[in-house]
Every structure is written in C-alpha cells, then in structure tokens.
Amino acid sequence: MSPLDAPRTAAWSGKEVRSARDLAINGAPPMFSQPLHVGRPNIGSHERFLQYARDILERQWLSNNGPLAQQLEREIAQYLGVQHCIAMCNGTIALEIAIRALGLKGEVIVPSYTFVATAHALQWQEITPIFADIDPVTHNLDPDAVRRMITPRTTGILGVHLWGRAAPVEPLQAIADEHGLALMFDASHGFACSFGGRLIGGFGRCEAFSFHATKFFNSFEGGAVVTNDDALAEKMRLMRNFGFAGYDNVIYPGTNGKITEIAAAMGLTNLAQLDEFVAANRANYQTYSRELTDVPGLRLLAYDTRERNNFQYVVVEVDEQFPASRDRIVEVLHAENILARKYFWPGCHNMQPYRAYYPHAGLMLPNTIAVADRVVVLPTGSSMDSAHVRGVSQVLRALSRGSLAA
Ligand code: T4K
C-alpha cells in the first residue's frame, strides 16, 4: 500500500468555527476525531517492508552490520553523493560517535535553539556546549555570534540545519579554518534538503542524521554519520561496534551504536518512497501557505525555492498583531485534537543541566529567546491531506478574529 493510500486516522468533523462557542476549548466537539501529530511517521509500502522482514527471519541475521544495514549505507551514500555512510541505532548516538571520533573536547559552540539532543551529545562526553545566538530570520546559527563565543578552550563548532534549512555553511567553515576548529553538523532535519544545489550530508568534517520515527525519513529508530573523510569513517565504524576489528581484536574504545536489520528494512522501504513523502509534505505546506497568507500576525516560515527541502516542519511565527498569544494558540489547537508543538522552546540553555550551570546564558541569546517564544509547529506528513490542513487553518483564522481569542 502506498503511504498516500494509508487510512486517514484523523477524520475532520466538518465543524465550522463561527463563534467562541464552536471551539473545543469552550466545550464544543473537537475539529478532529483523532489527534493530528507533528511527527506522525511517514511509512512506505507495507508489503515491501514485510518482505524484508520475512527475509531477515529466514536469514537469522538480525544485527551487527547485516546485509540490509550495508545496503542502507550504500543507498544513502549514493543518494547523498558522499563517500561514507555509517548507519547507527539513533541520531543521538550518531552525534556522540561523530563528536568523539573528531576528538572534540573542552568547549564546542552550538545553537541553544535546537532539540536538546544536540547539546546532550556533548555534555554526555563532558564537553561543554557553548550556546551561540541564532539569526532571527533563518533560525540558524549567526556566524558573528559564533565568533563571539570562541575561547582558548574551543575545539569545534556543531551547526544544526534547523527545519531542513542549511546552517550558514560557508561562514562557519571560514571561522573554523581561521581558528583551527573542527566543523560538523547535526543534520537531523536535513535529509533530502540541499544547500547550493548539493544535498546536505557533504558539509563540514561530517554530518549526523536522525532517522527517528518522527523524522521525514525514518527507520523506526536510527541515524547515520556521513563523511568524505576515509580515516574518520573507519574510526566511526570501529567505535560503533565496541572497537572490534575482527574476532577478539579490540583496537579502540567503542560503544554499541549498531543499527538493527529490522530498522534497516524500514529505512530501505522508506528510502524508495522519499519523493512521495516530499510531495505530500509540499502539498500540505502549500495549502497552509494559501490558507494562512493573509492572516495578520501569523507568518509561515519560507523555504528557498532554489533549494530542495523535505517540508517536514510547518513553522509559524506569531507576532503581537495576532490577538492570541502563542501559548494560547497551542492550548486552543490541542483542544481541537491538533497537537501543534512549541519546538524548540524554551531553548537548551533553559533546560537542565545547562540552566543550573549557566543561569545567565540568556543574556547572550536574545534572538533565541524571541524566536522560541513565537514559534508554533503545525502537524503535517503523509497521513494528512488538504482537508486536514484546511481544518487546522480554519481554527487559526477564527482565532485571528479577536473576539474568539480570549
Ligand atoms: N538533533 C536534532 C536537531 C533533533 O531534532 C533530534 C531529534 C536529534 C538530534 C536526536 O535524534 P534521535 O536520537 O531522536 O534519533 C521528537 C523526537 O523524539 C526526536 O527524535 C526529534 N529530534 C524531536 C524534534 O522530536 P518529542 O519528545 O517532541 O517527540 P514525541 O514523542 O512527542 O513525538 C512527536 C509526535 O509524533 C507525537 O505527537 C506522537 C507522534 N508519534 C511519535 C512516534 C514516536 C507517532 O505518531 N508515532 C510514533 O511512532 O521528540
């Protein structure tokens, strides 16, 4: 079954919101019978996946660099146009292994406006994440802010391609070169997205992807580091498997970062249908764009039409022209079974242990704080269609009439 034929779980009630009494938060039935999620998995052909699963059971090879894991690595490397893909059990371990293989220590500069795993992957290894501010328009690291955070203890920069829009790759590379720092990227949002016409994956020393269930491309849980550096790739392969270089021969300290065969099967299944997932996301994005274009106080994050994007995240910024606060919007939407998210509020610097370690970090992060306070991420994905998007948009449009906002 194609993902686009999959049963729609969240039926639109057909409700029209004309007055405050029509809102679920005021006791009316919700807009949708089931929750609409940010991060509902895109799932490819069930039949293809089940065939892979049957093969795995027949072969009795379940993990440890099995044939499907190797095939997934080959297909991803080819798709991204990179030399090496080292598949991992999740995106966080992919980050941790890449960070360790690069020999980062001391301090590493990261954005605070990201999923907390980016910072945790450093902290877990007793490396201090130093939070640099973002550009309020791109939501990505501001190169000038990065410069300001460099100290004699800095060993690297960990950029994030937030929302699948590339971090400022060239200025960051220039800063890294100038100061002798390693540059790597958290590309968890960036699968099938491009910068300068090149797919994300080949920038910096290496890039780490997440293939978590909620990501545009998933392998249940999973991830990968991709690189064009042969020696780095070899090191990461060893680290992923306890440092084993053959039977009974450990030549490196390592961990268990291996991807299972069943996860690789899901990855291969979904890799074959990436274009369909992008098309579904793009269609939803375009419908949101049409529906919300003239709503004062709401601004849909734009994607550069010259680049490829996976349109995984439908990001709306709420400003003071809108009669309801961002938090009120989220509350109203949740009551309607529309599980919008406040990603990545309140910023890593406001989460533990960072908040306790650096209580004044926010002084250097005005744009991070402002953006985190005004963003709401709306549901999308291949289990949603234009009727769902119109239902979500209808609630937002109704709220924009001040009388319903209170
Ligand atoms: N770096 C960045 C920039 C990242 O965004 C992430 C992950 C990472 C690193 C780390 O990669 P991994 O180690 O996770 O591979 C979710 C995901 O758990 C997380 O992977 C993701 N970023 C982050 C942005 O979102 P939560 O806590 O917001 O997810 P959760 O459990 O609320 O799920 C979101 C929605 O998806 C829910 O409403 C339900 C729905 N859902 C979820 C799952 C797992 C489903 O419908 N089916 C499912 O199987 O973090």
Average pLDDT on 9-13 reads: 73
Spatial distance between the Cα atoms of 226 and 131, rounded to a whole number of angstroms: 24
Confidence of residue 6 (pLDDT cuts 50, 70, 90): very low
Confidence of residue 405 (pLDDT cuts 50, 70, 90): low
pLDDT for position 10: 72
Three-state secondary-structure class, residue 86: strand
Average pLDDT on 159-183 reads: 98
**DSSP 8-state class, residue 164:** G
pLDDT for position 155: 98
| Mean pLDDT score of the chain | 95
- Please give the number of the atom of ligand 1 that sits closest to the Cα of 95: 9
Three-state secondary-structure class, residue 88: strand
Residue 78 and residue 84 in contact, taking contact as beta carbons nearer than 8 Å: no
Which of 115, 270, 314 should be mutated for ligand 1, with most atoms under 8 A from CB?
A: 115
pLDDT for position 2: 47
Cα of 379 from ligand 1 centre, angstroms: 13
Q: What is the pLDDT of residues 159-169, one digit of tens each?
A: 999 999 999 99
Q: What is the pLDDT of residues 334-347, one digit of tens each?
A: 999 999 999 999 99
Cα of 92 from ligand 1 centre, angstroms: 11
Q: Is residue 3 pLDDT above 60, yes or no?
A: no
Q: Is residue 156 pLDDT above 90, yes or no?
A: yes
Q: Is any atom of ligand 1 closer than 6 Å to the C-beta of 219?
A: no
Q: What is the pLDDT of residues 80-104, one digit of tens each?
A: 999 999 999 999 999 999 999 999 9
pLDDT for position 138: 97
Q: Is any atom of ligand 1 closer than 6 Å to the C-beta of 90?
A: yes
Q: Is any atom of ligand 1 closer than 6 Å to the C-beta of 382?
A: no
Q: What is the pLDDT of residues 28-47, one digit of tens each?
A: 999 999 999 998 999 999 99
Three-state secondary-structure class, residue 159: strand
Average pLDDT on 138-159 reads: 98
Residue 272 and residue 75 in contact, taking contact as beta carbons nearer than 8 Å: no
Q: Is residue 374 pLDDT above 50, yes or no?
A: yes
Cα of 115 from ligand 1 centre, angstroms: 9
Task: Specify the pTM.
Answer: 0.96
Question: Which residues, in sequence order, are CB contacts of 292 under 8 Å at separation 6+?
Answer: 298, 300, 316, 393, 396, 397
